[in-house]
Structure 1
Amino acid sequence: MGLRRHALPAGLAAVALVAGALALRAPASHGSTRPPAALAAPVLSPRRAPETLSRVVGDLRLRRDLDAALADPQLGAARSANCLVVDDGGRRLYERTPDASLLPASNLKLLTGAAILDRLGPGTRLRTEVRGARPAGGNVDGPLWLVGGGDPLLGTADFAASFERQPRQFTSLEALADRVVKAGVRHVSGGIVGDETRYDRERYVPTWIPSYVSDSEIGPASALTVNDNFVAWHPRHIAAAAPATAAAALFTALLRARGVDVDGSAAEGAAPPASARLATIDSATVGELVGEMLRESDNQTAEMLVKELDRRRGGRGSTVNGMAVVRSDLASMDLPLAGLATVDGSGLDRSDRATCRLLLSVLEHAPERAWLTRGLPVAAHDGTLARHFHGSVAAGRLRAKTGSLKGVAGLTGLAATVRGGTLAFSLLVNGLPHDELGVYLYEKVGGILVRYPDVPKPAQLAVPGT
């Protein structure tokens, strides 16, 4: 019994010793032509356990390389203000301050998206309506109301074409104008009135840095959002002072271009409950909207859908109450919420906090996680990763949510390894001296993850005939 009790630990110890040497040594020279000496493998040799040895060496090298990446002197104060967790099918490969409560930047959109998908359902659509009196002989007696339903991507073709990354997903306001014409409308005596009453009228989160507004990081919020509520975008973006009125004015122009006579000026107000529904257009599904939000890191979509969460539970469509729904929903998923603090859905606010443990848990355990992973941008291919990882082994293999604010970088997602595995990971870094270092770091970390396990294949470690 004594021999059997100590045989397994002795074997594992041998594996660990050899693994440590393999993990830390430099690659052997390939210049010698001398044939290798024949190996005689003892019964307890680690060479008789090649898969175990390969895994141990791979794990050790991964930890060494990730430790080195996060200790890079270039990172400055960020070396002590970061977290990173890496899982391999539920097996924790690496963990560094997983519960540190850090600025997540746009990685927060993963939490927002998880709650939106769970509460609204991935197949739900948001409807924009045109309401008014039914036309008699083509004439509408009184106004037509353009009623916002919270679609964050309602817009025109010229606005969609202005984006660098194409094609830009949008719900066509032109198509809605065509449907009004198809409904028989030829003259509107009371003008077009924009209705944004589905949500409150708070345009921006009060604690946001003013430059987010002045630099057009996000447009003013409204239940009737058209073209992100910008009235111009060349050479610079100009936000609408009154989004509902601006949307009504644009819709007026579209109707007139289609031969509809519209009297009067655009205005805003609530559509009468008894008014008839003359035309509608639906958004993409919520699953597709969340995918667009993650892929393009769309702040406007995030904040609009947060307001919709509040509206669906009977509220007035506010950010504060919508974020309460997000937290409540995440709690219902039994996720580790310690260290979470949120005031918006986009991650723009600098008081937002999250942990790597939570972000990874959402990606691995949220009920609609398939929709989350489907929406992640692919390295060197699309979305916010289109410009990154070119020439890297991670190109096309890594898909992840990016995050970036001044001094902050984040990357949470999946890495398809060169050996055919899949690693889930979350990285947050705060206190970067230069924002470019965020891209440098997550490209470095991404490459390390994709190459895992960076060791010979198990078959190459085995002794022939053993």
Structure 2
Amino acid sequence: MRSITASAVLAVALVTSGCATLVDTPPAPVDAALREAGVPMASMSVVAYPMDAPGTGLRINADRPMAPASTMKTITAVVALDRLGPNSRGQTQLLAAGEIRDGRLDAPLVLKGGGDADLDWASLWSMLRELRERHGLRDLAGGIVVDRGLFNPARLDIGAPRFDEQAEFPYNVIPDALHLNGSLLQYDLAADARSLTVRPFPQFGGLAIDTSAVTLNDKPCKDWDDGWMPSRFEALPGGGARLTLAGEFPRDCRVTQSLNVLDRQWETAQALRQLWMALGGTLSGEIREGATPEGATLLVQHRDRPLAELLRPIMKASDNALARMLYLRLGAWAAQPGEDTRDAAARVVREWFAAQKIDTAGLTLENGSGLSRNERASAAQMAAMLRASARGAHGPELLATLPVAGVDGTLSRRMKGTPAEGRARMKTGTLRDVVALAGYVPDSTGRTWIVVAIVNDDQAMKARPAIDALVAWVAGR
């Protein structure tokens, strides 16, 4: 009875005072939802206040560093918009390390990655075709150098520990500066009653896929990935490779899935060779990773979407790989010679917070996506960051990228039929033991509130209704 009575007092105080009160007791709907979930209030951190009155509203465990899950993407987005600018674009370049004579290049051709998030198979084909038709290049006699050196280290994926048991799935991709086709290849998996057949698209002639270790089961096709086990990639003499799949797969099931199961340099080399030959070119010499030779001449360039547009899939679909890419681009922009790109990105974020006079105590950054067991931020820090963004030059760009409650993105099915539907714009966060929301909520008078709510608990998923109840409570005020 004590918490319910306190919640009633909270509602009266906020209404009668015009939100001139700062309270630390949850509203009744939130309190009830937490009790239903069996999650203690101590596991929840909340900050909610009108944007024009930051010293009022609701604060519960506001300064406690919490695992923010994907709400961490708001920090990466806000700082990147401010430091890189909404028109910032990644790029991929083809450069010649020598002169083209009679359609022949005796020095290496360089494929240089520049954090281009949109470099897919079609884009690479288009770049190579431009090389053939505009520059008359036919014979790559000096081989090809693949330069991933924009980020330090260049291959963060090598030796990285698995985040979870599905490290090969798209949400777990660790990007590099080239990021060709998102470091993914599409596979058509089809099983009958006796065996599994796997066909990649596009097909690389040197790739053999071994499914002999896959056992068929009788689970529903929708649960096909429950029995997925890590695969094994092996490069073979002569340029070929073998991919060995393992685990279980349902009988009479067909699935199309993009996976990160090939060595990305082998995959890049296969794509370059296959596409170049299809365009009528010839290629001798090796395809290797390396640095761009000094004095190399730019021949062809591809650019991705402006940052303000790239943020839409990062925020609305919560794309981890693109968020990590953006974080690394932020680091590359500021890195000193030899500095780890991730350290440089963390430094830029802290400097931005300091410039906004936001305390960074307890703020812990790892990859900027929230797909981390180490990243931490308090609700108070995130609320202050969101307020600074809204009052800054690029607040409208951020607002346009956030999921809308009950309408799109990761909030498309949540808060329908509540006062928040179609109005609240918030970034979601979900991990095994984390649920969170952070963003902007207009109340019934049109006054915009900053709302951040984070739950860290073994039963966090059960507390999602409590967070939604908070947002609906604010929207209905």
Both proteins in one fold, TM over 0.5: yes
Give, in whole Å, the separation in 2 of the partners of 1:218 and 1:182. 38
The residue identity in structure 2 corresponding to 1:412 is A
Give, in whole Å, the separation in 1 of the partners of 2:27 and 2:474. 9
Alignment of 1:187 with 2:148, yes or no, is no
Give, in whole Å, the separation in 1 of the partners of 2:183 and 2:37. 38
Change (3 A) 1:445 1:176: farther
Give, in whole Å, the separation in 2 of the partners of 1:283 and 1:22. 49
Counterpart of 1:126 (choices 86, 90, 115) is 90
Q: TM-score, normalised by structure 1?
A: 0.74
Matches within 5 A, 1:241-320: 241-263=262-284, 266-313=287-334, 314-316=336-338, 318-320=341-343
Secondary structure, counterpart of 2:62 in structure 1: coil
Change (3 A) 1:441 1:190: farther
Give, in whole Å, the separation in 1 of the partners of 2:68 and 2:85. 25
Counterpart of 1:173 (choices 120, 124, 133) is 124
Secondary structure, counterpart of 1:211 in structure 2: coil
Counterpart of 2:378 (choices 323, 334, 355) is 355
Secondary structure, counterpart of 2:451 in structure 1: strand
Counterpart of 1:69 (choices 21, 27, 30) is 30
Change (3 A) 1:216 1:340: same
Cα displacement string for residues 210-247 of structure 1 (whole angstroms, at most 9, x for unaligned residues): 43624443213311111221234544443255434423
Larger relative strand fraction: 2
Secondary structure, counterpart of 1:148 in structure 2: strand
Deviates further, 260-269 or 373-382: 260-269
Asked which structure has the greater CA Rg, the reply is: 1
- Percentage of pairs with the same residue: 27
Q: TM-score, normalised by structure 2?
A: 0.72
Counterpart of 2:471 (choices 446, 455, 458) is 446
How far off its partner does 1:253 sit? 2.9
How far off its partner does 1:85 sit? 1.4
Change (3 A) 1:328 1:398: same
Larger relative helix fraction: 1
Give, in whole Å, the separation in 2 of the partners of 1:274 and 1:104. 45
Deviates further, 409-418 or 240-249: 240-249
Give, in whole Å, the separation in 1 of the partners of 2:423 and 2:9. 30
Report the counterpart of residue 17 of structure 1 in structure 2. none
Q: In the alignment, is the contact (CA less than 8 A) between 2:150 and 2:177 conserved in 1?
A: yes
Change (3 A) 1:342 1:212: farther
Report the counterpart of residue 119 of structure 2 in structure 1. 154
Give, in whole Å, the separation in 1 of the partners of 2:288 and 2:396. 42
Secondary structure, counterpart of 2:171 in structure 1: coil
Secondary structure, counterpart of 2:101 in structure 1: coil
Counterpart of 2:101 (choices 102, 124, 136) is 136
Report the counterpart of residue 67 of structure 2 in structure 1. 103
Deviates further, 238-247 or 92-101: 238-247
Q: In the alignment, is the contact (CA less than 8 A) between 1:248 and 1:268 conserved in 2?
A: no
Change (3 A) 1:324 1:236: same
Change (3 A) 1:156 1:380: farther
Report the counterpart of residue 38 of structure 1 in structure 2. none
Counterpart of 2:181 (choices 200, 221, 227) is 227
Alignment of 1:322 with 2:345, yes or no, is yes
Alignment of 1:218 with 2:218, yes or no, is no
Indicate the RMSD between aligned Cα atoms, in angstroms. 3.2
How far off its partner does 1:58 sit? 8.9
Q: In the alignment, is the contact (CA less than 8 A) between 2:19 and 2:57 conserved in 1?
A: no
Change (3 A) 1:446 1:53: closer
**Runs of 5+ unmatched residues, structure 2:** 1-7, 189-255
Matches within 5 A, 1:382-421: 382-421=408-447
Alignment of 1:334 with 2:285, yes or no, is no
Number of positions where the alignment pairs a residue of Structure 1 with one of Structure 2: 390
Matches within 5 A, 1:43-54: none
